[in-house]
Amino acid sequence: MLYIKCPHCGWRSQNEFSYGGDATVKRPELGKEVTDQEWDNFVYNRKSLKGKHWELWQHLSGCRQWIKVERDTATHEIFNTLKASEEIS
Amino acid sequence: MKTQSFRLENVGLINRNKKLSFKFNGKFYYGYEGDTLASALIANGVHLVGRSFKYHRPRGFFGAGVDEPYAIVQLYRNGETEPNIKATEQELFEGLEATSVNCWPSVNFDIGAINNFLKIFLPAGFYYKTFMWPKSFWFKVYEPFIRKAAGLGVASIKHDKERYEHKYEYCDLLIAGSGPSGLASAYAAAKNGAKVILAEDKSRFGGTLLTSEVNIGNKSGKDWAEGIINELREMPNVTVKNRSQVFGYYDHNMLVMSERISDHLPETKKFHPKQRLWYIRAKEVLISSGSIERPIVFGNNDTPGVMLSSAAKEYLKVYGVLVGRNPLIFTNNDSGYETAIEFKKNGVEPIILDTRKNPQSEIVDEAKNLGINIKFSHVVVAAQGYKKVKSADIASISDDKEQLGNIKNIKCDCICVSGFWTPTIHLASQSGNKTKFNEDIDAFVPGTSKQNEKTLGAANGVYTLDETLKSSFNTGYELSKQITNNDNKVSFPNVVEKKSSVHDKFWCVPLPKGKNYKRFLDFQNDVAVSDIEIALKEGYRSIEHVKRYTTLGMATDQGKTSNLNGLQLVSKIENKVVPNVGHTTFRPPYTPVSIGAIVGREIGKHSKPTRKSPMHLWHEKNNAVFVDAGVWLRPRYYKRGNENLFEGSKREAKNVRKNVGVCDVTTLGKIDIKGPDAAELLNRVYTNSWLKLPVGKARYGVMLREDGIVMDDGTTTRISENHYHMTTTTAQAANVLSHLEYYLQLVWPELNVNVVSTTEQWAGAAIAGPKSRDLLQKLFPNSDLSNEGLPFMGYTEGDLFGVKARIFRISFSGELAYEVNVESDNGNFMWEKVMEVGQEFKIQPYGTEALSTLRIEMGHVAGSELDGRTIPYDNSLEGLLSKKKDFIGKRSLSRKAFMAEDRQKVVGVVPLDKKTSIPEGSHLVKDSNAPLPNPKLGYISASCWSVEHDNPFSLAILKDGKKMIGEKLFVMSPLKNKIIPVEIVSSHYVDPKGERVRS
């Protein structure tokens, strides 16, 4: 079971969180014209990386905040966690 | 027969003051408190305990603990039965009963043993080769045969009345194993203030210190261990647990341990669990799991009476039991000598066969001085005897270990084997540690740490006590210092031990000319040297493939005694060094864990939370039949007399259409939305327009996922300027809240809005039917509830006999209807008032079944249509798609498939005979006689008995549904064996213009 440092609450076990997918995907702005390709990239196309991956988790049974977690998808090592408002550098 | 004739006097750690009786295979025996089932049986001279898995060869005892591959029994305890119990681990208790497994009709006469004589037909991969053809034989012949032949015991089919618990724990240091390294590191760390958990899988602490002749700090090893444990037990920062196996090392230093609290007792004490599963998050883990003796492979090496030399020593020193009176010790290292010396000291004359030519060490000298018969450069070629060893064929062996001398037969009643030691690296390997091969000990040891784990002592391939203790004291001290910043170092005790000489890298006795003895590698799965040879001949190369093809190491003992010899064999045949062959993956659990312990308390009604509305007790008292709705319990219908579901729900639905009904809608998801940008949020989340909704008005809305699929629907009401009340379906309540939080926190953080779930804060009652207004007016005499005062989709607040209530004029049933919400604490009060005042209007409560009937015949879509596969058009909700603004998922709706002319759409379905009910999930086809696969045009999503028309009515999602109205099709349900001719009609079967809700 992963041990995740919630930027708001501190170290918590994985069973308090739910997974939310790739954190680097940006939703196209509302009302902006986008091509089918751009839209598909937003909705469907994911890289499914092996290695370091920024992803979203929600601290569902805690502060309910969505957070960004940098995790190695092969080893589960977690390198960094950020608040929703913090930019991935 | 004299009982316990193999028990020594004055030796062992058992309690001779407490004699226990037990039963094995129907016969009574005696043992002592502190025995295992294995030691008690051996004390009584019983060595035949089972039959092997494949050939049904007789099976005895091989080890004395967790590594045991043979002695697996079916246990009977306190009216329960449990399979797959190791006799070497099961502690004896008064009245214990056990039987052999994998034999029929009895362990002495086993019909399956015919496999032993058919073994030429049962080679490696036999299952894959034999049972492939003819195909039809699998189901009828092979599968039942294998089912009967396979398995080690029978699982109980009764409800397990025992209680199992889970516990979560944190610590600085978790130490797995209480041998010398575990005790030393625990002691050093605990004295330095660290929070320590020390786990021992056996009942006694001390590991090898209980059986080895060593001296620590002027005390025997056993007394030193006892002193340390007693001191640790008294320390508040230390948890000491015996009968506790750390069986799994998971991510981020999470380990799981199973504690057997009551298995050693005749019955579980009141309020005690049987077993407890510990989830331990440790800052540092010290693996002090020791090592397991390795067998030497020779002919018939599975005969009962052939066992590990360390096990023979443990039976003698811990339990005071002789495994034989005429022992043969077969060894390639000094460990066998320790066993021989113990025999000799207790008046038994052992013979040692040492594969080495001329070993020099203190312990060999001691054996010589004691006058023990030692034959150097000698091996056991084969054991003789069927149900028990009777003699051994022995021979000298050449220096290159290839040539056997003349074979002699000597009498013996047991053969104690020592092929050196294999470190128990399972936990280290599970942690992700890449193991490395240590040439000195011919075994794998942990490599570089992957998580915060260190392996100490024998588990790390260190076999001198002095070095083990030193490194363990140091490690315990250093790690605790890092964690606690304390600096209390305990002094290191003086250690006296005998020096050993090197072992002989010999592991397999060659076959003598003309003999074809089975030489077993895996004792539990009956995998012999010849099986591995066949697998390699047939082209299997990877050790992982060889393992799966031959089942080497795949039994419940996970190859604890077989893996390395298997690797040795593969490396020899393949002419590779062992590290290049590599070992198979170690996976948790290290030992079998009972399903009960894994499940814990989450069984039956505790497997998920049960949520009840504040009116639940009223429903119960009024004969509600409940149904699971997600985690909620909801009344399905209120039973009157002998009514069944169909009759009851029909009565309730009719009464709504005719008079008035009340339904508990507390379970609907409710989300409170506040903030200056609340309207803007709704406008982006819902497909329709929300910016102009006035205060005191509700609106129906549909929300999509970004891929255009309908996510949920519900009404949202503007309570005040910046305050909205959103309702969701019962099932999607949690998801919708997360969805809103996602957009507010990540996508549009600039919106000034707060959302919070208020589902459980409000109790809700839907009051529906033509008389609902009259009833409401009596409940709220001070409110203007006329059609003008509170029009359809209006909202107001009222006073319900002193209780503040929210009144929404919304309808799911299609009738004139209201929903009244009060704070949850007042829910029951509201309900009782509604029922009381409703008497004169012939009110009846209605359940979910009537609710469904009402919405289906109205053509209102719900969860069965909004099933995660449909878009707004499919549900005839396209009128709610705003063209003027963007919203979540809008862009996806312009995808080609979603714009198709002949897209599926919700329709109504009526059977032509107006009688036959249509099963939900049935398919709609054009021609019921068309060849299979019959093209499917759509499916039935929901069915009911229309109370308005008094005939069956269903909703369906049908291809090109818009154009299909009036068509005649067939409903096919192969599951229910039904073919029903039907007509497609509008989904709005009742009040298509929606006049009633506005009346």
Cα gap B211→B465, rounded to integer Å: 13
Do B279 and B427 share a domain, yes or no?
A: yes
Asked if B602 is an interface residue toward chain A (Cβ–Cβ < 8 A), one would say: no
Interchain pair B747, A27: CB under 8 A: yes
Q: Read off the CATH number of the domain in which B554 is found.
A: 1.10.10.1100
Is the Cα torsion angle B399, B403, B405, B411 positive or negative in sign? positive
Phi, psi angles (nearest 5°) of residue B473: -55, -45
Q: State the average pLDDT over residues B700-705.
A: 97
CB B792 within 8 A of CB B809: yes
DSSP, collapsed to helix, strand or coil, labels residue B212 as coil
Task: Report chain B residues whose CB lies below 8 A from the CB of A39.
Answer: 891-892
Task: Report chain B residues whose CB lies below 8 A from the CB of A64.
Answer: 741
Task: Report chain A residues whose CB lies below 8 A from the CB of B683.
Answer: none
* Mean pLDDT, chain B, integer: 94
Does pLDDT of B95 surpass 80?
yes
Task: Report chain B residues whose CB lies below 8 A from the CB of A43.
Answer: 706-707, 892
Q: What pLDDT does B155 receive?
A: 86
* pLDDT level of residue B745 (50, 70, 90 thresholds): very high
Q: Which two tokens stand for residue B756?
A: 């919070």
CB B444 within 8 A of CB B586: no
Q: What pLDDT does B575 receive?
A: 87
Please give the tally of structural domains in chain B: 6
Q: Please tell me the distance in Å from A26's CA to the nearest CA on chain B.
A: 8
Q: Read off the CATH number of the domain in which B80 is found.
A: 3.10.20.440
Q: Please tell me the distance in Å from B693's CA to the nearest CA on chain A.
A: 21
DSSP, collapsed to helix, strand or coil, labels residue B786 as coil
Task: Report chain B residues whose CB lies below 8 A from the CB of A34.
Answer: 891
DSSP, collapsed to helix, strand or coil, labels residue B322 as coil
Q: Please tell me the distance in Å from A50's CA to the nearest CA on chain B.
A: 17
Asked if B747 is an interface residue toward chain A (Cβ–Cβ < 8 A), one would say: yes
Do B557 and B646 share a domain, yes or no?
A: no
Q: What pLDDT does B104 receive?
A: 62
CB B162 within 8 A of CB B271: no
Q: What pLDDT does B574 receive?
A: 86
Do B958 and B993 share a domain, yes or no?
A: yes
Task: Report chain A residues whose CB lies below 8 A from the CB of B684.
Answer: 30
Asked if B434 is an interface residue toward chain A (Cβ–Cβ < 8 A), one would say: no
Q: Read off the CATH number of the domain in which B322 is found.
A: 3.50.50.60
Cα gap B669→B726, rounded to integer Å: 8
Do B286 and B312 share a domain, yes or no?
A: no
Asked if A78 is an interface residue toward chain B (Cβ–Cβ < 8 A), one would say: yes
Cα gap B958→B280, rounded to integer Å: 54
Task: Report chain B residues whose CB lies below 8 A from the CB of A84.
Answer: 745-746, 749
Give the residue from chain A lying closest to B745, CA to CA.
A84
Which one of A20, A31, A39 has the shortest CB-CB distance to B886?
A31
Which one of A1, A65, A75 has the shortest CB-CB distance to B745?
A65
Does pLDDT of B557 surpass 90?
no
Q: Please tell me the distance in Å from B254's CA to the nearest CA on chain A.
A: 6
Cα gap A32→B891, rounded to integer Å: 10
Q: Please tell me the distance in Å from A14's CA to the nearest CA on chain B.
A: 10
The verdict on residue B797 lying in a domain is no
Do B202 and B232 share a domain, yes or no?
A: yes
Phi, psi angles (nearest 5°) of residue B416: -100, 120
Task: Report chain B residues whose CB lies below 8 A from the CB of A61.
Answer: none
Asked if B250 is an interface residue toward chain A (Cβ–Cβ < 8 A), one would say: yes
b/e B397-420 (16+ beta carbons within 10 angstroms → b): beeebeebeeeeeeebbbbbbbbb
Cα gap B507→B521, rounded to integer Å: 11
Do B117 and B176 share a domain, yes or no?
A: no
Phi, psi angles (nearest 5°) of residue B121: -90, 0
Q: Please tell me the distance in Å from B428's CA to the nearest CA on chain A.
A: 15
Give the residue from chain B lying closest to A3, CA to CA.
B252
Q: What pLDDT does B865 receive?
A: 96
Residue indicated by tokens 């803007």: B680
The verdict on residue B807 lying in a domain is no
Q: Please tell me the distance in Å from B167's CA to the nearest CA on chain A.
A: 14
CB B878 within 8 A of CB B898: no
- pLDDT tens track for B103-129: 666 767 666 666 666 665 566 666 666
Helix (H) or strand (E) holding B599, with range, is helix B595-599
Q: Which domain holds residue B965?
A: 900-998
Q: Which two tokens stand for residue B878?
A: 């396209």
Do B366 and B462 share a domain, yes or no?
A: no
Q: State the average pLDDT over residues B460-478.
A: 97
Asked if B281 is an interface residue toward chain A (Cβ–Cβ < 8 A), one would say: yes
Phi, psi angles (nearest 5°) of residue B306: -85, 120
The verdict on residue B755 lying in a domain is no
Q: What pLDDT does B115 receive?
A: 67
The verdict on residue B54 lying in a domain is yes
Q: Read off the CATH number of the domain in which B969 is found.
A: 2.40.30.110
Task: Report chain B residues whose CB lies below 8 A from the CB of A27.
Answer: 706, 747
Q: What is the CA radius of gyration of chain A?
A: 14
Best of A30, A56, A76, A83 to mutate (most B CBs within 10 Å, chain B): A30
Q: What pLDDT does B120 receive?
A: 58
Nearest Cα to Cα of residue B573 among B530, B602, B622, B608: B530
Report the DSSP pairing between strands B905-911 and B58-59.
unpaired
Which burial class, exposed, middle or buried, applies to B609 when counting CB atoms under 10 A from its CB (0-12, 13-18, 19+)?
exposed
Do B176 and B221 share a domain, yes or no?
A: yes
Percent of chain B with pLDDT over 70: 95
CB B837 within 8 A of CB B969: no
Does pLDDT of B532 surpass 50?
yes
Among B526, B550, B574, residue at a domain's last position:
B574
Does pLDDT of B137 surpass 80?
no
Domain ranges of chain A: 1-26+50-89
CB A77 within 8 A of CB A58: no
Q: State the average pLDDT over residues B810-828.
A: 96
Task: Report chain A residues whose CB lies below 8 A from the CB of B891.
Answer: 28, 34, 39
Q: What pLDDT does B559 receive?
A: 86
Cα gap B624→B649, rounded to integer Å: 11
Reply yes or no: is the peptide bond before residue B359 cis, omega within 30 of 0: no
Asked if B745 is an interface residue toward chain A (Cβ–Cβ < 8 A), one would say: yes
Whole-angstrom CA distances from B111 to B46, B60, B117, B518, B877 are 21, 18, 11, 20, 70
Residue indicated by tokens 């064999």: B569
Task: Report chain A residues whose CB lies below 8 A from the CB of B895.
Answer: 36
Do B392 and B458 share a domain, yes or no?
A: no
Give the residue from chain B lying closest to A26, CA to CA.
B747
Nearest Cα to Cα of residue B222 among B239, B204, B238: B204
Task: Report chain A residues whose CB lies below 8 A from the CB of B253.
Answer: 3
What residues of chain B, 694 to 733, have a C-beta less than 8 Å from chain A? Answer: 706-707
Cα gap B9→B321, rounded to integer Å: 9
Q: What pLDDT does B632 receive?
A: 94
Q: What pLDDT does B132 receive?
A: 56
Helix (H) or strand (E) holding B189, with range, is helix B180-191
Q: What pLDDT does B154 receive?
A: 84
* pLDDT level of residue B50 (50, 70, 90 thresholds): confident
Q: Please tell me the distance in Å from B276's CA to the nearest CA on chain A.
A: 18
CB B198 within 8 A of CB B240: yes
Does pLDDT of B140 surpass 90?
no
Best of A4, A44, A66 to mutate (most B CBs within 10 Å, chain B): A66
Best of B433, B672, B704, B746 to mutate (most A CBs within 10 Å, chain A): B746
Nearest Cα to Cα of residue B871 among B998, B664, B703: B703
Task: Report chain A residues whose CB lies below 8 A from the CB of B746.
Answer: 56, 66, 84
Report the DSSP pairing between strands A66-72 and A52-58.
antiparallel
Q: What pLDDT does B585 receive?
A: 81
Nearest Cα to Cα of residue B953 among B921, B989, B981, B979: B989
Q: State the average pLDDT over residues B68-75.
A: 93
What would the CATH number be for the domain defined by A1-26+50-89? 3.30.2270.10
Q: Among B127-141, B287-301, B735-749, which stretch is predicted with the lowest mean pLDDT?
A: B127-141
Do B567 and B615 share a domain, yes or no?
A: no
Asked if B252 is an interface residue toward chain A (Cβ–Cβ < 8 A), one would say: yes
Nearest Cα to Cα of residue B266 among B594, B20, B73: B20
The verdict on residue B738 lying in a domain is no
Q: What pLDDT does B141 receive?
A: 62
Does pLDDT of B778 surpass 50?
yes
The verdict on residue B878 lying in a domain is no
Helix (H) or strand (E) holding B570, with range, is helix B563-574
Q: Among A70-74, B232-236, B522-526, B835-839, which stretch is predicted with the lowest mean pLDDT?
A: B522-526
Q: Which long-range contacts (CB under 8 A, 24 or more apart) does B568-572 make?
A: B568/B442, B568/B507, B568/B508, B569/B508, B569/B521, B569/B529, B569/B532, B569/B533, B570/B532, B570/B536, B570/B543, B570/B546
Give the residue from chain A lying closest to B283, CA to CA.
A3
Q: What is the CA radius of gyration of chain B?
A: 38
Interchain pair B251, A1: CB under 8 A: yes
**What ipTM was assigned to the predicted interfaces of this complex?**
0.98
Q: Please tell me the distance in Å from B283's CA to the nearest CA on chain A.
A: 11
Cα gap B281→B170, rounded to integer Å: 5
Residue A33 CB contacts under 8 Å (≥ 6 apart), including other chains:
none
Cα gap B782→B802, rounded to integer Å: 11
Interchain pair A85, B749: CB under 8 A: yes
The verdict on residue B470 lying in a domain is yes
Nearest Cα to Cα of residue B104 among B114, B94, B96, B95: B114
Among B445, B466, B496, residue at a domain's last position:
B496
Which one of B281, B684, B749 has the shortest CB-CB distance to A3?
B281
Q: What pLDDT does B56 receive?
A: 81
Asked if B916 is an interface residue toward chain A (Cβ–Cβ < 8 A), one would say: no
What residues of chain A, 10 to 49, have a C-beta less than 8 Å from chain B? Answer: 13, 18, 20, 27-28, 30-31, 34, 36, 39, 42-44
* pLDDT level of residue B1 (50, 70, 90 thresholds): very low
DSSP, collapsed to helix, strand or coil, labels residue B147 as helix
Interchain pair A1, B254: CB under 8 A: yes
Q: How many CB pairs under 8 A join A and B?
A: 54
Q: How far is CA B129 from the centre of its chain?
A: 32
The verdict on residue B182 lying in a domain is yes
Give the residue from chain B lying closest to A57, CA to CA.
B742
Nearest Cα to Cα of residue B260 among B506, B458, B66: B66
If one compares B145 and B913, the residue with the highest pLDDT of the two is: B913
